[in-house]
C-alpha cells in the first residue's frame, strides 16, 4: 500500500472547503427549488417484451414533458425484470405522476417502498439506469418484499439507501456492508481523455479476481448519448471499497449527482493537456455545486503537468484537491499505486511517508 518503485508521489496539501458554488461550466439547465418535497419510491414487475432500455427511452420522452410541468424529478432503474422508480417533487405533482404510472400496462404489481418528505437529491427531471445483474426476478422480488415490509413497519430509510439496497444484488460481496457508510467506501474514477478509468477498474477486477459490474445511465437530454459505468468491489479490511469508473458525460446525470455525497474520493486521471484537464475539473465542480458534502479530489497527472490552475478551479468550487504526480509509466498499476495510499489515509490504514524536501 505504499508508493511503488518508479513512482514519485506527492500529496501536497489539503485546500480548505468553501461553500462557493461557482463554476464556469454548465452543460444543462439546473434550477432546483429549495425546500422539502414529497419523496416516493416504488418497485414494479416489468411487462415489457424486448428491448427494455429502448422502452425506457420512450417513457423518458413522455415523462420529461409531463414531469417538468409537475415539478417532479424522477430516476428509473431496470434490473432483474423489475423497475424501481424514485420520485421527488410537490405532493400534487408526485400524486399526478403516480396516477398516470399506475394505469400503465408496461408494468404490474406496484409495491410502495418509501414515502417521506425531505430535500431533493435528484438534480435533473429525469435519469435512468440499467444494471447488469445475474439475480433472478424471483430473488429480486424477495428483496422488494423485504423492503416493503420495513416501509410498512415504519422503518423508512432515505431514498438513496433504498435505491442502493435494491440495485446491489445480495449475491454481491459488498451487498451486506453497503448500507453502513463506515464499512463501505465509494471512489469514483474519471479520466480526462479516452477510457482510462474503465481500464483501471478492469485491471483492478483482474488483480483481485472480482467481478466488474456494468451499468448504463441516461439523463434528461435526449440528444446526449447513454453513459456507461463499471464498478468493482474490493475487500479492503475493515471496509469494502467500491471503485466506479464513470464516463465524463456521466457527471452531469442527476443520478450520479444524487449519489456524489456518498463518495469519499473522486480520482481524476488527468491527461497533462490543460484544455482537457480543465474541462474535467469544471465538470466535476459543476456536478458537486449543490452538495453539502463533497468528495476529495485526487488529481493524478504526468510529472510535467501543471496542477496549479486545476487546484484553483477545484478550490473555487469548494473541493479539496490533492495533486499527485506520476513519473515513469502511466498505466493502471501506476495510477493505483499513487491513489491507493490516499484512499487508505482516510480509513487510517496508511501512514504517510515524509515528503521529500521541496
Ligand atoms: C416504470 C414506468 C415509469 C414511468 N414513469 C413516468 C414518469 O415519471 N412520468 C410520466 O409522465 N410517465 C411515466 N411513465 C409513463 C406513464 O405510465 C404513462 O404511460 C404516461 O404518462 C402516459 O400517460 P397519459 O396517457 O395519461 O399521458 C412511466 C411508465 C412506466 C412503465
306 or 31, which is more confident? 306
Most informative mutation of 59, 83, 103, 125 for ligand 1 (most atoms within 8 A of CB) = 59
pLDDT band at 23 (very low <50, low <70, confident <90, very high): very low
Say yes or no: CB of residue 177 within 6 Å of ligand 1: no
Residues with Cβ within 8 Å of 223's Cβ and at least 6 positions away in sequence, in order, are none
The closest-lying atom of ligand 1 relative to the alpha carbon of residue 44 is 1
Say yes or no: CB of residue 63 within 6 Å of ligand 1: yes
Burial class of residue 229 in the structure, from the number of CB atoms within 10 Å of its CB (0-12 exposed, 13-18 middle, 19+ buried): buried
The closest-lying atom of ligand 1 relative to the alpha carbon of residue 62 is 11
Tens-place pLDDT, residues 70-86: 999 999 999 999 999 99
Phi-psi region of 290 (alpha: psi -120 to 50; beta: other; left: phi over 0): alpha
At 236 the pLDDT is 82
Tens-place pLDDT, residues 139-179: 999 999 999 999 999 987 889 989 988 887 655 555 555 55
Residues with Cβ within 8 Å of 88's Cβ and at least 6 positions away in sequence, in order, are 37, 38, 39, 40, 72, 73, 74, 94, 120, 121, 122, 159
Q: Does domain 37-167 have CATH number 3.30.70.100?
A: yes
What is the percent of the chain with per-residue pLDDT over 90, rounded to a whole number?
58
- Whole-angstrom distance, CA of residue 243 vs CA of residue 239: 12
Whether 161 and 118 have beta carbons less than 8 Å apart is answered as no
Compute CA distances 282 → 22, 151, 247, 336, whole Å. 10, 39, 14, 23
pLDDT band at 323 (very low <50, low <70, confident <90, very high): very high
Is pLDDT above 60 for 319? yes
Whether 6 and 334 have beta carbons less than 8 Å apart is answered as yes
For domain 181-347, which CATH number applies: 3.40.50.300, 3.40.50.1110, 3.30.230.30, 2.60.120.260? 3.40.50.300
21 or 67, which is more confident? 67
Instruction: Give ranges for CATH 3.40.50.300 in the chain.
Output: 181-347
How far apart are the CA of 277 and the centre of ligand 1, in A?
A: 39
Lowest-confidence region among 110-119, 199-208, 338-347? 338-347
The closest-lying atom of ligand 1 relative to the alpha carbon of residue 102 is 17
How far apart are the CA of 56 and the centre of ligand 1, in A?
A: 10
Q: State the DSSP string of 96-136.
A: HHHHHHHT-TTEEEEEEEEEEEE-----SSEEEEEE-----
The closest-lying atom of ligand 1 relative to the alpha carbon of residue 126 is 8
Is pLDDT above 70 for 43? yes
The 8-class DSSP code of residue 225 comes to P
Q: Considering the entire predicted model, what is its pTM?
A: 0.81
At 10 the pLDDT is 32
257 or 291, which is more confident? 257
Q: What are phi and psi of 274, to 5 degrees?
A: -55, -35
Is pLDDT above 90 for 3? no
What's the angle, vertex CA 4, arms to CA 208 and CA 173, rounded to 5? 20
Instruction: Give ranges for CATH 3.30.70.100 in the chain.
Output: 37-167
Closest listed residue to residue 320, CA positions, set 352, 288, 346, 295? 295
Is pLDDT above 90 for 221? no
Cell numbers that stand for 22 in this block: 461557482
Most informative mutation of 38, 57, 64, 66 for ligand 1 (most atoms within 8 A of CB) = 66
Most informative mutation of 63, 73, 82 for ligand 1 (most atoms within 8 A of CB) = 63
Instruction: Identify the top-confidence range among 31-40, 97-106, 319-328.
Output: 97-106
The closest-lying atom of ligand 1 relative to the alpha carbon of residue 66 is 11
Amino acid at each position: 500500500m505504499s508508493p511503488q518503485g518508479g513512482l514519485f508521489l506527492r500529496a501536497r496539501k489539503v485546500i480548505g472547503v468553501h461553500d462557493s458554488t461557482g463554476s464556469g461550466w454548465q452543460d444543462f439547465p439546473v434550477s432546483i427549488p429549495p425546500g422539502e418535497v414529497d419523496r416516493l419510491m416504488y418497485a414494479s414487475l416489468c411487462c415489457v417484451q424486448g428491448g427494455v432500455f429502448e422502452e425506457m427511452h420512450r417513457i423518458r420522452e413522455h415523462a420529461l414533458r409531463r414531469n417538468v410541468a409537475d415539478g417532479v424529478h424522477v430516476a428509473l432503474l431496470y434490473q432483474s425484470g423489475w423497475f424501481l422508480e424514485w420520485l421527488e417533487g410537490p405532493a400534487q405533482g408526485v400524486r399526478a405522476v403516480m396516477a398516470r404510472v399506475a394505469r400503465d400496462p408496461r408494468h404490474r404489481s406496484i409495491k410502495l417502498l418509501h414515502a417521506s418528505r425531505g430535500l431533493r437529491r435528484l438534480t435533473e427531471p429525469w435519469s435512468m439506469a440499467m444494471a447488469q445483474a445475474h439475480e433472478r426476478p424471483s430473488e429480486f422480488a424477495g428483496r422488494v418484499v423485504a423492503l416493503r415490509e420495513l416501509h410498512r413497519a415504519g422503518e423508512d430509510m432515505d431514498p438513496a439507501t433504498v435505491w442502493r439496497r435494491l440495485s446491489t444484488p445480495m449475491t454481491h460481496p459488498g451487498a451486506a456492508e453497503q448500507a453502513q457508510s463506515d464499512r463501505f467506501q465509494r471512489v469514483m474514477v474519471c479520466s480526462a481523455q479516452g477510457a482510462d478509468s474503465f481500464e483501471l477498474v478492469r485491471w483492478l477486477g483482474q488483480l483481485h479476481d472480482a467481478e466488474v459490474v456494468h451499468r448504463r445511465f441516461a439523463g434528461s437530454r435526449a440528444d446526449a448519448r447513454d453513459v456507461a459505468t463499471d464498478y468493482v468491489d474490493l475487500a479492503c479490511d475493515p471496509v469494502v471499497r467500491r471503485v466506479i469508473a464513470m464516463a465524463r458525460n456521466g457527471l452531469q446525470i442527476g443520478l450520479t449527482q444524487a449519489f456524489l455525497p456518498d463518495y469519499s474520493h473522486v480520482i481524476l486521471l488527468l491527461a497533462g493537456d490543460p484544455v482537457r484537464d480543465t474541462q474535467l475539473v469544471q465538470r466535476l465542480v459543476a456536478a458537486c455545486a449543490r452538495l453539502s458534502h463533497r468528495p476529495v479530489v485526487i488529481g493524478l497527472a504526468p510529472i510535467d503537468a501543471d496542477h496549479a490552475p486545476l487546484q484553483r478551479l477545484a478550490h473555487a468550487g469548494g473541493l479539496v484537491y490533492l495533486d499527485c504526480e506520476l513519473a515513469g509509466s502511466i498505466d493502471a498499476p501506476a495510477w493505483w499505486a499513487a491513489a491507493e495510499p490516499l484512499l487508505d489515509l482516510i480509513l487510517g490504514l496508511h501512514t504517510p511517508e515524509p515528503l521529500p524536501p521541496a
